[in-house]
């Protein structure tokens, strides 16, 4: 490439060592778009598009010519603009290794520790771990033992902070990361496929895939070292000024009233929050201007340039420097750095700039932590506007009108603070205090705060007390435009000697000052947080024993540790080898290396178009028109598809179940807000998404009544769906008789339960390709391709043999890719059919959340009677279930609910369950549909009974556990044999292994000693009723003896393929030929193809794996029957007979080596019960409402597990998903029923820092169950129900907090009345804090203060 060409502007970079040169690029193109559309590297995934999930993480490496070193850090490729990586090198998981050339130790360990289920997040997990390993190599630490890195365990765990996983529960991923740490305790690592129980530590280390830091990948190729030059495209769409003067010139020229739209760029991470779809004519890269990238430290403070990445600023604040500052100043800098590390995630901090964060806080009111901290320490901001250079205090900076694009933030200076010198007696000690605070759903960031704060105080201590000389109090992110100083509080405290009374008056002033703007969620909670933080800051100065230190382990920069330890107990079974062996999940290594192909990874065919939905914003309205502002179609848009484009003979059908259909598009009337009205088709997915967002729908509501948006409205208007009579559950016993026997009654108590979103990492996706003779091939990420097939045929009006649906694997489903996947595939097929071109769609996260429906919300009213000894005698429930606009799969919910409720002996159980039809999105089956709701209902009722009787709830639970006789009465036909009822023994065993009774006493002692933290512990049982379903299978043996298996079940990450492979190897092993132990390697399970294997059904209900295994065994038995005579004949002839010998002989004798079946379970084996129990211990922070899960212990009965490692992963993953439902996930709608939680900023699934710190699981091998498939039981859904133990433990902790609050005069009534409360689901921080007392600090201070204390 000539220098002349380079001057014209060539974008040069590398991906996995390969050179790329681009002469002109749309400057809005992200790195992720380029990687997925222009390269073969598909390991990097799109999931949220906001930088909030980590699925798109890559390692970005750049060369510093001055220091002559390479800087490495992971970034979110969905936010990073392609032009901004000029001269950089990108490493994806494919760059680490592959199955052909050799996998990287990260890949091998990720697979071997069973850390990949659906696998969609796994490539990015690998890159996140790789990034910290690369940076650890240069750490100034002792050399690690061979095979390990310089990482510490805490650093290794933190590698995946910011990466979301919906399948695994994180524990095995954390173990993978920890296995590279120099200080790891090998005995603490969980179950894996490398070593066996009983191996010595030395043997275990030797069996780990060896890691050699010096053999690692070159992250920055030599050929790039001379390419790191500013990028300026000839088109001037991207410019890179090198000086302030050049920048000013560019701004003057382009802002001279000619309408040019300019975007100033550093990291572009703000687009993750603001979803900026606006078109810009020019992008100006600010990173090459020296004044903006400086870090200058002197005795007056630290100045940080506006374009300095947040991660670099953190390092600068922490690093030792030649310029020595006083210890107080160093402490301030350290604490600022510690707090900044809790902002966003590592991949955001590596690319986001300090200045960018501050500008969006000032201009667009972003709830910035950094702005609040900088306000507290009186930072100075430098701004340039034209020729005018200003220095402003941070308060002035926030208070001025929003910065326009003529003004550029240059730098911010954090001053050096030290105690003021005062003429005080020698007995007085003066010092500086500085603390920062953050209340957020996730302790380590990657979530917006409810409130942040930073306090700086100059105090003097003497015998008379602590005098506040000066104090600065900054609060932010609480629902106001900017962070602010609490001036009145500062003025009040200045010159005061601290006392309970003084602090009480101060917190009253804080509460008056920190007032969220109207419309802010949880305003009272946010104000109470401000009070709590001030209390936490000053109360120790008055009463050092009143606020205890945080009991958790911290790393060397003040961040709490994560998973401290975990224990897994499994019992491998060799009776049916290799069934029962905890082998590695099939395809796990391919998922880690990025070689596993998901639907959106399939290369686009020639002339492929992309689609996006236009959604209604009205719940019930006439659709008059769908149009764009301009008369012409937006850039790249080809067409708009609606119900009018359905061909003659076709139907407006988007999904189909045995209970009914749902339309693909709204026709003349919208039925719910969020409903697809039309489908934009464009040349790229970005153009389709932008086009859909630009569409305008004209509505009219004339002649239409009000929509039905709640179950109460549906009830009033008698708007219900009918539950088929054969699906409606049967009542148990005589309710009136049971109530007459009761000593106590609770009448008409209410419970409300909200929805939950699936949050599969791979959103809905499909690719439709027109084929010859009016045929259509569709690749769909679906849990039920059979129904997708039918829907497409009906929509297009063509025979079903003209449609072929292919599904290889699904990147997470949880029920969300059952009916909802049909809409996506049908829309793509309809567009492809009309336009006669391939059409694909990868639904963006917002659109996915609008149409997903999620779990059914419900309202429950119950009446219960019970004896004085705690025995329940009768329970009646009236349940209103919000099914949404169509029936979907809601008819299964009543039976599921009652099946789960019946885990206790209620004496008599009656109910009235109604499926309400509302103008909201159709709700569907989510993992444990109805069952998780019912589990909570059961526990809430027992909690209320226990509170009423002033008894321990564990006693009430035990009192109402079933005997085998009552179990048989409640679960008629499903209870099995008496020895199969393992729940009582599980409860006893769990009490022993978890030290339950001892920990109860320890918890009581702790709660007496700590005022502001309370612990709770709870033990909860579950009974889960499983049903088998009919399923097909086909097994074929090829010439070389390899085996191809097809099953109706879909691989969702649950290990179905793995179990099927094991079953195939076991069944063929029964032929007892030589070398049969190697049969497992000969088996391949192939993708689902609806024309190859019909009647595939739906993969759901936890039992598809065992059903598939049962069907495969039938096929194998047929084939073994055909092969056995040949084996006997060959053995007589040869003596030594191998599998290959038998198969060759079979071919020569024209034996049919393919067998298929459609296995329909008989009535005796159709239903069975699963049992399990969990003990969870939590700690609640009364000041913030934060709940930390200290420990969870689970025992779950898997019968004889088909694969204990796979089942263990299902148990852990389901449990953590249940934690999300019970503790954090809010799937909210507005007054029109439109979903408003539409991304990672507002929807909080569990993360590595919110799971149990100690997570112990035992997979119980309960012996033989002759009616089960090789005595196995399901594991996918039932363990999710056990997460209610966390919610119950939280309630127990809140109960202790309320008792304490009452002792301070904060609650009226008796002690027993203070324990009568309902804890909502989810038990979010605001909910918990409110029940602990929004005024708990004030009540405590009043309780402690003397009458004259506030003077």
> pLDDT category, 557, cuts 50, 70, 90?
very low
For residue 650, what pLDDT is reported?
98
pLDDT tens by residue, 1160-1215 = 998 888 899 999 999 999 999 999 999 999 999 999 999 999 999 999 999 999 99
For residue 363, what pLDDT is reported?
96
Tokens of 821: 């996947």
* CA atoms in the 13 A half-sphere facing the CB of 1086: 15
For residue 4, what pLDDT is reported?
37
Using the 8-state DSSP alphabet, how is residue 604 labeled?
P
pLDDT tens by residue, 170-210 = 999 999 999 999 999 999 999 999 999 899 999 999 999 99
Nearest residue to 768 via CA among 825, 821, 808, 689: 825
> pLDDT category, 563, cuts 50, 70, 90?
low
Cis ω before 1322 (30° cut-off from 0)? yes
Distance CA(311)–CA(337), nearest Å, equals 9
Residue 425 has pLDDT above 80, yes or no: no
Distance CA(1063)–CA(1270), nearest Å, equals 9
pLDDT tens by residue, 1103-1133 = 999 999 999 999 999 999 999 999 999 999 9
> pLDDT category, 1146, cuts 50, 70, 90?
very high
**Which of these ranges, 404-408, 553-557, 833-837, 1218-1222, has the smallest mean pLDDT?**
553-557
Nearest 5°: CA angle at 939, between 1007 and 985? Answer: 90
pLDDT tens by residue, 339-353 = 999 999 999 999 999
Nearest 5°: CA angle at 495, between 489 and 498? Answer: 75
* CA atoms in the 13 A half-sphere facing the CB of 937: 34
Distance CA(11)–CA(1268), nearest Å, equals 61
> pLDDT category, 6, cuts 50, 70, 90?
very low
**Which of these ranges, 64-73, 192-201, 547-556, 652-661, has the smallest mean pLDDT?**
547-556
Please give the C-alpha separations between residue 1287 and each of 94, 440, 1111, 1206, 1321, in angstroms, as whole numbers.
41, 19, 39, 26, 8
Distance CA(313)–CA(322), nearest Å, equals 17
Q: What percent of the chain has pLDDT over 90?
A: 86
Q: pLDDT averaged over the chain? A: 94
Distance CA(1329)–CA(1213), nearest Å, equals 28
For residue 548, what pLDDT is reported?
55
Distance CA(1330)–CA(1325), nearest Å, equals 8
Tokens of 1227: 């799937």
Whether pTM > 0.95 for this model: the answer is yes
Specify the length of the chain in residues: 1351
Q: How much is the average pLDDT of 213-235?
A: 86
pLDDT tens by residue, 90-110 = 999 999 999 999 999 999 999
Residue 1347 has pLDDT above 70, yes or no: no
Residue 383 has pLDDT above 60, yes or no: yes
Residue 478 has pLDDT above 60, yes or no: yes
pLDDT tens by residue, 897-919 = 999 999 999 999 999 999 999 99
For 709, other C-beta atoms within 10 Å of its C-beta total 21
Q: Is 534 helix (H, G, I), strand (E, B) or coil?
A: helix
For 553, other C-beta atoms within 10 Å of its C-beta total 12
> What kind and span of H or E run contains 468?
strand 465-476
For 1090, other C-beta atoms within 10 Å of its C-beta total 25
**Which of these ranges, 225-229, 988-992, 1172-1176, has the smallest mean pLDDT?**
225-229
Distance CA(534)–CA(455), nearest Å, equals 8
- Please state the separation of Cα 559 from the chain's center in Å: 21
> pLDDT category, 427, cuts 50, 70, 90?
low
Distance CA(109)–CA(93), nearest Å, equals 14
- What are the backbone dihedrals phi and psi of residue 812, each rounded to the nearest 5 degrees, phi first? 95, 135
For residue 944, what pLDDT is reported?
97
* CA atoms in the 13 A half-sphere facing the CB of 141: 15
> pLDDT category, 256, cuts 50, 70, 90?
low
* CA atoms in the 13 A half-sphere facing the CB of 1014: 24
pLDDT tens by residue, 11-28 = 999 999 999 999 889 999
Q: What percent of the chain has pLDDT over 70?
A: 97
> pLDDT category, 696, cuts 50, 70, 90?
very high
> pLDDT category, 1262, cuts 50, 70, 90?
confident
Distance CA(654)–CA(788), nearest Å, equals 9
Residue 162 has pLDDT above 50, yes or no: yes
For residue 422, what pLDDT is reported?
60
Sequence-separated (6 or more) residues with CB below 8 Å from residue 1331: 1294, 1297, 1298, 1317, 1319
Q: Is 458 helix (H, G, I), strand (E, B) or coil?
A: strand
Q: How much is the average pLDDT of 71-96?
A: 97
> pLDDT category, 1, cuts 50, 70, 90?
very low
> pLDDT category, 561, cuts 50, 70, 90?
low
For residue 1166, what pLDDT is reported?
87
For residue 135, what pLDDT is reported?
95
């Amino acid at each position: 490439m000539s220098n002349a060409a380079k001057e014209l502007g060539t974008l040069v970079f590398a991906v996995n060592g390969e050179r790329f040169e681009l002469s002109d690029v749309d400057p809005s193109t992200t790195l992720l778009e380029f990687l997925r559309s222009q390269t073969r590297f598909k390991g990097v995934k799109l999931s949220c598009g906001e930088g909030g999930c980590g699925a798109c993480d890559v390692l970005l490496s750049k060369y510093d010519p001055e220091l002559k070193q390479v800087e490495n850090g992971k970034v979110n490729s969905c936010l990073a603009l392609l032009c901004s990586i000029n001269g950089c090198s990108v490493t994806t998981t494919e760059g680490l290794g592959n199955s052909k050339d050799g996998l990287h130790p990260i890949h091998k360990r990720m697979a071997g520790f069973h850390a990949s289920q659906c696998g969609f997040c796994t490539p990015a997990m690998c890159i996140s771990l790789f990034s910290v390993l690369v940076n650890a190599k240069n750490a100034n630490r002792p050399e690690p033992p061979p095979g390990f890195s310089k990482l510490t365990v805490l650093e290794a765990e933190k590698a995946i902070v910011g990466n979301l996983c919906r399948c695994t529960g994180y524990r095995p991923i954390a173990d993978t990361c920890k296995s590279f740490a120099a200080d790891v305790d090998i005995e603490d690592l969980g179950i894996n496929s490398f070593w066996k129980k009983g191996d010595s530590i030395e043997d275990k280390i030797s069996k780990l895939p060896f890691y050699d830091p010096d053999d690692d990948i070159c992250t920055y190729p030599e050929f790039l070292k001379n390419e790191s030059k500013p990028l300026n495209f000839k088109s001037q769409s991207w410019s890179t000024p090198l000086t302030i003067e050049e920048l000013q010139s560019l701004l003057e020229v382009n802002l001279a009233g000619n309408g040019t739209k300019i975007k100033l760029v550093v990291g572009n991470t703000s687009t993750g929050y603001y979803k900026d779809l606006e078109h810009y004519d020019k992008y100006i890269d600010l990173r090459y201007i020296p004044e903006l990238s400086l870090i200058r430290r002197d005795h007056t403070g630290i100045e940080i340039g506006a374009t300095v990445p947040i991660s670099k600023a953190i390092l600068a604040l922490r690093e030792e420097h030649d310029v020595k500052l006083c210890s107080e100043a160093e402490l301030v800098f350290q604490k600022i750095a510690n707090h900044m590390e809790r902002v966003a995630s590592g991949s955001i901090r590596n690319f986001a700039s300090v200045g960018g964060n501050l500008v969006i806080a000032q201009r667009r009111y972003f709830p910035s932590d950094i702005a609040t901290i900088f306000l507290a320490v009186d930072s100075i901001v430098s701004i340039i506007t034209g020729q005018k250079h200003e220095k402003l205090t941070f308060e002035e900076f926030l208070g001025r009108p929003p910065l326009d694009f003529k003004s550029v933030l240059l730098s911010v200076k954090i001053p050096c603070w030290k105690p003021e010198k005062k003429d005080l007696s020698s007995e007085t000690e003066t010092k500086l205090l500085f603390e920062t605070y953050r209340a957020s759903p996730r302790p380590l960031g990657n979530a917006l705060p409810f409130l942040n704060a930073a306090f700086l105080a100059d105090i003097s201590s003497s015998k008379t007390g602590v005098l506040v000389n000066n104090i600065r109090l900054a609060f932010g992110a609480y629902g106001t435009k900017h962070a602010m100083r609490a001036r009145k509080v500062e003025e009040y405290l200045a010159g005061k000697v601290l006392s309970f009374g003084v602090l009480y008056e101060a917190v009253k002033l804080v509460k008056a000052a920190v007032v969220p703007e109207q419309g802010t969620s949880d305003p009272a909670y946010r104000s109470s947080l401000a009070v709590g933080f001030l209390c936490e800051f000053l109360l120790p100065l008055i009463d050092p024993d009143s606020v205890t230190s945080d009991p958790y382990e911290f790393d060397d920069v003040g961040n709490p540790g994560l998973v401290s330890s975990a224990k897994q107990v499994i019992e491998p079974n060799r009776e049916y080898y290799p069934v029962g062996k905890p082998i590695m999940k099939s395809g796990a290594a391919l998922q880690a290396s990025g070689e596993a192909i998901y639907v959106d990874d399939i290369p686009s065919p020639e002339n492929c178009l992309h689609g996006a939905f236009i959604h209604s914003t009205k719940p019930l309205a006439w659709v008059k028109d769908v149009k764009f502002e301009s008369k012409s179609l937006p850039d790249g848009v080809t067409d708009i598809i609606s119900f009018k484009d359905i061909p003659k003979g076709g139907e407006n059908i988007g999904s189909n179940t045995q209970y009914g259909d749902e339309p693909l598009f709204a026709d003349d009337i919208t039925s719910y807000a969020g409903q697809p009205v039309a489908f934009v088709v464009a040349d790229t997915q970005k153009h389709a998404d932008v086009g859909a967002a630009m569409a305008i729908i004209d509505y009219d509501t004339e002649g239409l009544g009000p929509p039905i948006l709640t179950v109460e409205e549906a009830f009033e208007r008698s708007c219900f769906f009918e539950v088929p009579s054969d699906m409606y559950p049967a009542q148990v016993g005589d309710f009136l008789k049971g109530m007459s026997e009761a000593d106590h009654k609770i009448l008409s108590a209410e419970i409300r339960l909200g929805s939950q979103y699936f949050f599969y990492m791979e959103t809905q996706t499909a690719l439709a390709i027109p084929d010859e003779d009016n045929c259509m091939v569709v690749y769909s990420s679906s849990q039920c391709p059979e129904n997708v097939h039918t829907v497409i045929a009906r929509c297009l009006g063509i025979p079903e043999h003209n449609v072929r649906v292919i599904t290889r694997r699904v990147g997470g489903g949880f029920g969300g890719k059952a009916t909802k996947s049909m809409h996506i595939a049908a829309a793509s097929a309809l567009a492809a059919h009309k336009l006669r071109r391939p059409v694909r769609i990868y639904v963006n996260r917002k659109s996915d959340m609008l149409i997903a429906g999620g779990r059914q919300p419900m309202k429950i009213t119950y009446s219960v009677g019970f004896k004085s000894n705690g025995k329940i005698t009768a329970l009646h429930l009236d349940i209103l279930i919000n099914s949404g606009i169509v029936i979907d799969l809601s008819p299964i919910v009543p039976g599921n609910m009652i099946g789960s409720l019946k885990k206790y002996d209620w004496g008599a159980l009656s109910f009235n369950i109604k499926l309400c039809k509302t103008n909201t999105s159709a709700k569907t089956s989510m993992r444990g549909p109805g069952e998780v709701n019912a589990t909570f209902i059961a526990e809430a009722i027992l909690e209320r009974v226990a509170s009423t009787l002033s008894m321990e709830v564990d006693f009430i639970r035990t009192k109402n556990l079933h005997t085998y006789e009552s179990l048989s009465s409640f679960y008629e036909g499903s209870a099995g044999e008496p020895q199969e009822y393992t729940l009582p023994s599980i409860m006893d065993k769990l009490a022993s292994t978890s030290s339950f009774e001892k920990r109860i006493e320890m918890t009581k002692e702790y709660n007496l000693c700590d005022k502001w933290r309370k612990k709770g512990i709870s033990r909860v049982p579950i009974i889960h009723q499983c049903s088998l379903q009919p399923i097909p299978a086909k097994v074929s043996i090829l010439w070389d003896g390899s085996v191809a298996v097809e099953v109706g079940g879909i691989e969702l990450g649950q290990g179905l393929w793995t179990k099927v492979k094991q079953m195939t190897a076991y069944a063929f092993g029964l032929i007892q030929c030589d070398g049969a132990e190697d049969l497992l390697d000969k088996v391949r399970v192939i993708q689902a193809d609806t024309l190859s294997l019909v009647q595939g059904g739906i993969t759901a209900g936890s039992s598809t794996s065992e059903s598939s295994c049962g069907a495969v065994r039938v096929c194998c038995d047929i084939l073994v029957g055909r092969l056995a005579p040949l084996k006997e004949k060959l053995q007589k002839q040869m003596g030594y007979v191998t599998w290959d010998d038998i198969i060759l002989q079979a071919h020569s004798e024209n034996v049919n080596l393919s067998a298929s079946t459609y296995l329909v379970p008989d009535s005796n084996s159709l239903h069975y019960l699963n049992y399990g129990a969990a003990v969870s211990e939590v700690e609640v922070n009364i000041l913030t409402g934060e709940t930390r899960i200290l420990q969870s212990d689970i025992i779950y009965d898997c019968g004889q597990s088909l694969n204990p490692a796979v089942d263990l992963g299902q148990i852990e993953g389901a449990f953590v998903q249940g934690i999300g439902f019970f503790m954090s996930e809010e799937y909210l709608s507005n007054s029109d029923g439109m979903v408003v939680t539409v991304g990672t900023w507002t929807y909080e699934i569990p993360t590595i820092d919110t799971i149990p710190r100690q997570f112990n699981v035992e997979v119980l091998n309960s012996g033989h169950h002759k009616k089960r498939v090789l005595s196995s039981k399901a594991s996918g859904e039932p363990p999710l129900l056990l997460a209610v133990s966390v919610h119950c433990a939280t309630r127990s902790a809140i109960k202790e907090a309320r008792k304490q609050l009452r002792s301070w005069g904060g609650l009226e009534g008796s002690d027993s009345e203070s324990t009568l409360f309902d804890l909502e689901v989810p038990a979010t921080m605001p909910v918990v804090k409110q029940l602990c007392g929004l005024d708990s600090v004030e009540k405590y201070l009043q309780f402690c203060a003397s009458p004259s204390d506030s003077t």
